[in-house]
Amino acid sequence: MTEHRGVAGGRLEESPWDAAKGAFSAWRQGDAAAVDELVRVMTPVLWHVVRSYGHDRQTSEDIVQTTWLGFVRSHQTIVEPGAVAAWLITSARRDAARHLGHARRSQPVEGEALATWLPDVDSAEALAVLDDEGSRLWKAVSGLDERCRRLVSVIAFLDRPDYASLGRELDMPVGSIGPTRARCLDKLRAALAKEGRP
């Protein structure tokens, strides 16, 4: 069925549906320029369809462009040239509705609310300072005599070392572990102070 929109310059003006059908038919028959006419006729229609969903200008432009890309990929599925306008409009409506659903699901979250869900992690600067301090500490430990090195290494990694096992390992009487530990820690403090870390 042919539809006319009115009289323009003494001739009947063709409806967008008929113009789209004609341009699509011509394009399929090998007229490469006819696709430009199809885009010219149908883009304003698609624009109004998408904007009716309440999308902003940028989103609407993206959806219309996606509709045209989908058309280029799938145009051979359109059997009847008269269905091209309906195909484009339906595709634009689906994309507009899908974007609307995504926009509703992806509401921005305030930093304060997000912070309660994020794990507590030290900043990069804090981690760098800890790494530097750790390097300096173990460099100072490596400068101690072997007995102190071993004793400090054990107490660094155990909250409550087993003094009997420690005495056997270090070949020391259990009663001298505490005083030796204190002397080793004093040496370590002195080495760190010499490095500029009190």
pLDDT tens-digit readout, 155-184: 766 667 777 877 887 788 888 888 888 898
Average pLDDT, the chain: 79
pLDDT tens-digit readout, 111-128: 555 455 545 556 677 777
Contacts of 84 (CB under 8 A, 6+ apart): 20, 21, 24, 38, 42, 78
Position with higher pLDDT, 86 vs 2: 86
Position with higher pLDDT, 80 vs 2: 80
> How far is 177 from 172, CA to CA, in rounded Å?
7
Where helices occur in the chain by DSSP H, the ranges are 16-28, 34-51, 57-74, 84-105, 111-115, 124-142, 146-157, 163-170, 174-194
pLDDT at 175: 86
The residue type of 142 is: S
For 4, the 3-state DSSP assignment is strand
pLDDT tens-digit readout, 25-82: 999 999 989 999 999 999 999 998 888 888 888 989 999 999 999 998 988 888 888 8
